[in-house]
Structure 1
């Protein structure tokens, strides 16, 4: 109500101005915006009988996916997104292939999934001789160069020769690893699991440099790292990579890439990597319309979030009240159940302090619970000193062994010696954590008289 009363008049003016602004903005918008609502023609892919049969017999294609920003990564909802994920969605629409993701956490693990046959496809692997032995590569659909990444303040690395007798750190089974070991033996090569670990080595000074894709390196935040030169003569082309033995899948992917219009692939890359065109400067009214639209959007989002937040708070409060009521009911039932027991019963924690007892326990020791709550037997004067010390030491010993005890014994109370049947049982939380002891006793002589 407070939100509505404060912003009601402002919202009306923004709404009226927004209508005018949207109308002018729509009239002045470029064709790309006007055509947004039109359906985009999806090119058909002509598949032969063997390829159609392969799709029918392989309803799911498992994609081993390693998070690689802009190319393939998880959004805030845990869904895979990025350039390569968008490309697979288009191929799925064109061919009927269904792609499911299997997350990997390193290049080595991704290659292992393909080698073992637990995955069929990868979208972020570069080509080298080792991989060509057990993988097939589709037509290239883009690419970027490899660049050196070094420590900020140090001379930028210009070539592999600059790394002679220096430590170069790379993720295990990096696309350039075999070539560097073969052609540059003077480089001290170290292997780690991920690009993040490699960057951490460079930041800490344990390594002089690492090598990353030019696209990924552009996302490195400024600070303790700097991007050097492009690795000469090495190009990181973008492929769809399938394990060998699946010629139909490779053929389907190649046909889909060939059928995908060049402008659509270009738009996908522009969407994730940004464009090079310079837009015309908008006029005053266009900027004003934009401000109005953004103002209405922010105001609407604020109102919606306020409404959702209030509803959420109401649900949380109601759930908490219901949980507290249920807990009170359970505690009341437990107390009533214990008080209904004719024999003394008690509950003690891991230090032997009293948590709960029944009326019979209070009567047997001629005291009240509020005098004993949170205290050990040796801290209250309800039993002879030697009896209290004996029972307390037995409680602590039993907690260390976690064994149950059921036995008859004679025990000295203030009224004298009694023959009792004593029992104590360790109790645990739902996840198996020891919480204390549940125990009690029965007067054998009284039971004998009752029988």
Structure 2
């Protein structure tokens, strides 16, 4: 009995912590269930007659969409998915508008579509003075900060002043490009097509840093890169960007966003971004509080192990099974994300042997992963022998020089010559060791055929 009286306060604290944990888990589950329930019973918003007439005359809105997990991407079935797509579905149910995605391949390409009028809106563009000249922006429905991304081993980039006389690489027409050129003329800006190219140039040492949305920066394995500080005073709010000349559409979208229930928007963001947003470093007082809780929990755990060992063992087994299920779900999601990419992707080791590929790679070369895994490119009857040996030799040169490569070129496939945009970049382990090549290509010939382009060369 004396022992029980001694551990009773600790047991009380442990039970309180358990109740608080269960309460948070229950709240998250309720948010998810609430989102599903609301999606099945959505009331249309009240619109003016001229707005309803506009929808009758323009029932479909063209969306310029670029792959940007987890905000917007195509799943393994080729369907658009992600946080922004869920928002569009909710707006569609509230207004009757139908949204048709038109895939773009870079920020510059997306802006060109909107400027030419071939697309009406975009969901992933940040606001800037240059873009306000031809775009209107809806009310914000979320957002994230910008962060500096530099090379591991170099001092963490915390401000623009550290980048004076250095090269910063950005995707063409980046939202912060004009601000940097105006306020920090000593920074040398290099433009590329995509964030993937920007990260590769920083990793290879050809650029000192890049700037990326903090969610996107945390999503990808960093390898030789590391995330620095937030760009002070530059918050990237989530907006729907609407091309100029569509004020009625902008009004309809704003009314839908105003009527968007805050609880449902929060549940959508939790569904896609929970576990991705970086966790802030706790203060000293917070750490002391946490250590105090852990100390009390340890005492309580000791008492519980003495009193209810068998029950505790059962709980541990249950938790382990749940953790294994969570891990399996995460791996399945990562594989689905890779397979959802529309362009062929592959990973090769230091000898050029295939480690991994996605479904688009299998379809493009008419192979299966289990047939070609662990084999060199010229050992597989997937490409003409001359093409296969040329590409293999290029891979070996890249592995020796550790240089990234991005090029437009013509390659001979079994089906004939194809114009492609090809990219290959070295990748590294967490301890900085070279592990192989990551690469892929975009079939420009096929894209032109699908888009109906009749360009002359």
- TM-score band by shorter chain is 0.5 to 0.7
Whole-angstrom CA distance in 2 between matches of 1:36 and 1:269 = 11
Residue segments in structure 1 that go unaligned for 5+ positions in a row: 1-27, 299-429, 434-451
Report what 1:163 is aligned to.
163
Alpha-carbon offset, residue 291 of structure 1? 8.1
Indicate if the aligned counterparts of 2:142 and 2:238 stay in contact, CA closer than 8 A.
yes
Instruction: Say yes or no: does 1:80 pair with 2:80.
Output: yes
Change (3 A) 1:193 1:56: same
Alpha-carbon offset, residue 67 of structure 1? 0.9
Whole-angstrom CA distance in 1 between matches of 2:316 and 2:247 = 54
> What is the DSSP-based 3-state SS (H/G/I as helix, E as strand, rest coil) of the residue aligned with 2:212?
strand
Whole-angstrom CA distance in 2 between matches of 1:152 and 1:261 = 42
Report what 1:264 is aligned to.
264
Whole-angstrom CA distance in 2 between matches of 1:264 and 1:36 = 5
Whole-angstrom CA distance in 2 between matches of 1:238 and 1:132 = 15
Indicate if the aligned counterparts of 2:35 and 2:267 stay in contact, CA closer than 8 A.
no
> What is the DSSP-based 3-state SS (H/G/I as helix, E as strand, rest coil) of the residue aligned with 1:226?
strand
Alpha-carbon offset, residue 43 of structure 1? 3.8
Alpha-carbon offset, residue 293 of structure 1? 9.5
Change (3 A) 1:287 1:62: farther
Indicate if the aligned counterparts of 2:35 and 2:268 stay in contact, CA closer than 8 A.
no
Whole-angstrom CA distance in 2 between matches of 1:70 and 1:120 = 22
Whole-angstrom CA distance in 2 between matches of 1:45 and 1:78 = 30
Report what 1:142 is aligned to.
142
Whole-angstrom CA distance in 2 between matches of 1:265 and 1:284 = 39
Change (3 A) 1:237 1:157: same
Q: Which has the higher contact order (CA 8 A, sep 6+)?
A: 2
Report what 1:107 is aligned to.
107
Alpha-carbon offset, residue 431 of structure 1? 7.0
Alpha-carbon offset, residue 116 of structure 1? 0.2
Instruction: Say yes or no: does 1:250 pair with 2:250.
Output: yes
Residue segments in structure 2 that go unaligned for 5+ positions in a row: 1-24, 280-300, 302-310, 329-413, 418-457
Whole-angstrom CA distance in 2 between matches of 1:101 and 1:210 = 28
Deviations 1:9-53 (A, max 9, x none): xxxxxxxxxxxxxxxxxxx98873887985654243111111111
Q: Equivalences for 1:127-276 in 2 at 5 Å?
A: 127-274=127-274
> What is the DSSP-based 3-state SS (H/G/I as helix, E as strand, rest coil) of the residue aligned with 2:76?
coil
Deviations 1:46-93 (A, max 9, x none): 111111111111121000001111111111222111110010011111
Instruction: Say yes or no: does 1:65 pair with 2:65.
Output: yes
Change (3 A) 1:285 1:35: farther
> What is the DSSP-based 3-state SS (H/G/I as helix, E as strand, rest coil) of the residue aligned with 1:76?
coil
Whole-angstrom CA distance in 1 between matches of 2:242 and 2:251 = 11
Change (3 A) 1:51 1:38: closer
Change (3 A) 1:34 1:170: closer
Whole-angstrom CA distance in 2 between matches of 1:89 and 1:260 = 12
Aligned length: 274
Deviations 1:323-357 (A, max 9, x none): xxxxxxxxxxxxxxxxxxxxxxxxxxxxxxxxxxx
Whole-angstrom CA distance in 2 between matches of 1:251 and 1:119 = 18
Alpha-carbon offset, residue 220 of structure 1? 2.4
**Structure-1-length-normalised TM-score:** 0.55
Q: Equivalences for 1:3-18 in 2 at 5 Å?
A: none
